[in-house]
Structure 1
Amino acid sequence: MRFPKRAIDFVSLSRILPPAELGALRRRHSGASSPEITPLTAPATEAMSAILGQSYNSVEVHTNGGMPLAHCETASSYTGFDMGSGEASAIAILSALERLPVGGLLLIEEIEHGFHPEAQKHLIRELTRLISERKKQIVCTTHSEYILDALPREGRLLLEREPDGHRVSAGPTTRQAMSSMIGTPQPELTVYVEDAFAEKLVRQALPGEHRLRVRIVPIGSGADVVRQLRNHLRAGLDGPAICVLDGDVTQNQLEAWSNAQDLDSTDSCLRLPGESPPETWVLDALLTDDQYHEELARSARLEAGPLAATLQRLRSTSAHHDIPRDFALRYGIDEELAPYLITACVADHPDLQPIRDHVASYLNGA
């Protein structure tokens, strides 16, 4: 592949030393020789004011012997020897951008360096405006969630190191990128469910890449779940949220609870498959599909025939919440492990696909 020739400049903000620490710079600019003076244009000066939240009358870069020193005029006059790192970084970026011709590319390492969170958001907004007007391009690296939030999804790439190279993911959400950088998942979507068994069923049904990005929280009764969802959305809590109710909740009940809380049930409220509690639905799936039945037999190291008889007896119980516990006691399985074991075997059931699709739509649009 051949790329067109274009002007390219590079700014590494994290490697810029404060002028006060450079004795050679002070000696060069304290001499009698006249420096070359390059003022920022009016649009760049206005951008500087918007980024840092103060009015700049003029911003100039004085270059003497190849060594640049910034000069600013606000309510007073001062040079790079007396300015903060945010000002120095803004001037370095804006002056480099101004030097580039139309179609030029500016590479910036650690673009957030020296900027406080609010200034980071203003920085991206102003740079986006300038490069759009002047037909230029910026490619930058960042570890800042504020920079990521300010960038459009189509302008983001997540670069992750792997044993045999690197993996590039296009359009990551801010939390997806921060999860990778922090090393622990940062949930992008909260899913409220009724109880711990429903939580395990929903978690197992999601693909691994989505499980890392979702927080699933058991709440209690169906009405309480819908009420908690309303509280989450109205309070503006951490990210978007939906709820998944048990299959024995009727559509009329769901709509009544949603209407009482002023929620759109079609967008934010789902039901698990079937018209029975999730424990019973799982047993039905295990009994009616040999694939799931055999998978449970293999996973639990049990004989398929006797297992089917046990599942049939469990299916007839009216205390559906006791099904995982009774299964564990029958086969000497840890009570904590049993719900994971039986839900994992039906995790790819097609009736769970609407939940997978709904979660994916939130994550892809976040």
Structure 2
Amino acid sequence: MNAGNGFRSEIRNGVIQDLAGKVAKENYGQYLRKLTLTKVRGFTGIEVSFDFPVTAVVGPNGGGKSTILGAAGLPYSSVPPSRFFAKSGKYDDSMQNWSIEYQLIDKGLNRKLPVLRTASFKRLKWNRTAVDRRVLIFGVERTVPASERQNLRRAVGSAFEAVRETHLPDQVIDQAEKVLAKPLAGFRQLFLDATDRLSIFSGVTANGDGYSEFHFGAGEASVIRIIAEVEAAEENSLILIEEIENGLHPVATQRMVEYLIDVAYRRKCQVVFTTHSNDALAPLPAEAIWAALGDRVMQGKLDVRSLRAITGQVEADVVVFVEDQFARDLVATALRRDGEMEMDMIEVHPMSGAAAAKNATLHHNSIPTTWQPAVCFLDGDQEDLADRDKHIYLLPGSSDPERTVLDNICSRLDELAAKLTLSLRLPLERQQRVVSVVRSRKTTNRDVHLIFQQIGEDLGFLSAHDVAHAFLALWANEFPERTTAIVDLIRQAQQREQPQQAPA
């Protein structure tokens, strides 16, 4: 899988498929399979399923990410309810009658059937029949610099000496080095008391000089601490992490999520984390991602930037949701060709498939305070999901938009060969080669989503992006009736929902 910055995940698709299969077959000793927020904060009757052992929860501030994360820990006895759902006297009256239902896998309690549990807040306290399971919680406080943590003040001063110190295990060093991309040989954990509950780390410079965690970067210390505790945990543990990207470089964030996928594969652990970062989502499949939107949730891969559009927090006249990046480029090309609409007043957001695009549109249009409309353009083969009354339309053609663009161009390929060659920024004398490659690839291609990458490789390693945009630009100019149909629907939405002027 590729992230937007060109980073290629080292997690093989076979590992992703194997992990999803284990969840489907309930091949775990302990696993949180599903939770239903019957009534918690802004959520009522909302179900979240954990279809992949590493789950990301994204959403705008106040959207409910921490609610879902905390709810995931509540069925287990090692998690005190006040860790995520503390009551503050008369100021938290809304907690009365909160309730969460759970479907758990716990082979120690029932080897064949799911274990059902409920946690509810009644008579000013939480009521639950909790299950025993090791749960590791890493809150945002983990990235507070050591020098700002009052509980570490005893480690300050020239006279400090640890009660006990140990070298980091080889497995911890190996995994942390992969995330941080720096050598960690010689790093140690320094325990500040006899209970081993409080510790700091120390490292060694390339010159052999020692330094303590007081001189670490906050993200570096966070990664080492998480990995050290996770590697020491038993199989089937649940790991909860708040804002996983805190203090980390984007690539380190992606590598951290890859590490957690690897842990799920090696140790049968389950992970739930919250994030505002696209980089954290890059290694994950669509079923591993949930968006918390204040009063509802949505499953599927999406660009975090699209969350503002889904929740109506945009200044555009119209918001457009489509299935993927190519569909986004197609709509943007159509708008540019029209030339009359203000591009900066139209936002086009790629989602993770037809269902996600449609749900995002329906959610946006259901918000009473949102004045700008959302429209959706699904691929031509999604006729069953189209609904013009709800502004769910189809792109031209009866298949994937890549196929439609390719077929339209190929229907006049000899006539358009010179223009296509110039659009590809190739010399005109190569137009016969261009025609030959396009026809050959059209015949042999099995996955149309790869067609422009394949054509680019055959023409001298042109980028898939450049080839796709060359085809789109030519298609928009030569088949204007198709792009006009798209723009007309967006223009109708813009004219229908202009904000009313306040009286003078």
TM-score w.r.t. structure 2 length?
0.41
- 1:87-136 CA distances to partner (integer Å, 9 max, x unpaired)? 11112211221232111011000110111112212222233223322221
The alpha-carbon distance between structure 1 residues 254 and 209, as it changes in their structure 2 partners (threshold 3 A), is farther
Over 3 Å counting, the alpha-carbon distance change for 1:178 and 1:97 in structure 2 is farther
Of the candidates 155, 169, 178, which is equivalent to residue 41 of structure 1?
A: 169
Task: Identify which of 193, 196, 201 aligns with 1:70.
Answer: 201
Secondary structure of the 2:147 match is helix
Q: Tell me, yes or no, if the aligned pair for 2:298 and 2:359 is still in contact at 8 Å.
A: no
Equivalent residues of 2:310, 2:360 under 8 A apart: no
Is 1:129–2:262 an aligned residue pair?
A: yes
CA contact (8 A) 1:58 1:74 kept: no
Residue by residue, what CA displacement relative to the aligned partner does 1:327-360 show, whole Å, maximum 9, x if unpaired? xxxxxxxxxx99738x99xxxxxxxxxxxxxxxx
Give the Cα separation in 1 of the matches to 2:480 and 2:281.
43
* SS of residue in 2 equivalent to 1:158: strand
Letter of the 1:8 partner, please give it.
V
What residue is the counterpart of 2:140 in the other structure? 13
Distance 1:56 1:50 in 2: 10
Residue identity in the other structure for 1:94: I
- Quickly say closer, same or farther: Cα 1:168–1:63, change in 2 above 3 A: same
1:58 to 179, 182, 186: 186
Task: State the AA in 2 paired with 1:149.
Answer: A
Match of 1:173 among 270, 294, 302: 302
Match of 1:252 among 387, 406, 411: 411
Distance 1:338 1:53, change over 3 A: closer
Higher helix content, 1 or 2: 1
Does 2:338 correspond to 1:195?
A: yes
Q: Find the aligned partners of 2:485 and 2:240 in 1 and give their Cα distance.
A: 55
The normalised TM-score by structure 1 is: 0.54
Q: Is the Cα contact below 8 Å between 2:172 and 2:227 reproduced in 1?
A: yes
The answer (yes or no) to whether the contact 1:186–1:213 under 8 Å persists in 2 is yes
The one-letter code of the counterpart of 1:159 is A
Cα drift, residue 12 of structure 1: 1.0
Contact 2:145/2:214 (8 A) holds in 1:
yes
1:1-366 to structure 2, matched below 5 A, reads 1-3=102-104, 4=106, 5-14=132-141, 16-22=143-149, 24-28=151-155, 34-37=162-165, 39-65=167-193, 66-75=197-206, 76=208, 77-161=210-294, 166-175=295-304, 176-177=306-307, 179-180=309-310, 183-184=313-314, 188=325, 189-191=328-330, 192-193=333-334, 194-195=337-338, 209=360, 252-253=411-412, 256-257=415-416, 260=421, 277=481, 340=492
Distance in 2 (CA, whole Å) between partners of 1:34 and 1:24 is 14
Distance 1:13 1:255, change over 3 A: farther
SS in 2 for 1:174: coil
C-alpha distance 32-172 of structure 1, shift in aligned 2 (>3 A): closer
Larger Rg over CA atoms: 1
- Supply the AA of the counterpart residue of 2:152: L
CA contact 1:9–1:105 (8 Å) conserved in 2? yes
CA positional deviation for 1:79: 1.2
How many percent of aligned residue pairs carry the same amino acid?
Answer: 22
The one-letter amino acid paired with 1:340 is: Q
Structure 1 residues 151 and 207, CA, compared in 2 at 3 Å: closer, same or farther? closer
Q: Is the 8 A contact 2:143 2:246 kept in 1?
A: no
Do 1:105 and 1:136's aligned partners in 2 also have CA atoms closer than 8 Å?
A: yes
- Tell me which moved more, 102-111 or 249-258: 249-258
Higher RCO, 1 vs 2 (CA within 8 Å, ≥6 residues apart): 2
Unaligned runs of 5+ in 2: 1-101, 107-131, 343-347, 349-356, 362-373, 378-399, 425-433, 443-447, 450-467, 497-504
Tell me the CA shift for residue 141 of structure 1.
0.5
Distance 1:19 1:280 in 2: 59
Unaligned runs of 5+ in 1: 215-239, 283-323, 325-336, 345-366
* Residues 143 and 219 in structure 2, CA contact (< 8 A), matched pair in contact too: no
CA RMSD for the aligned pairs? 4.7
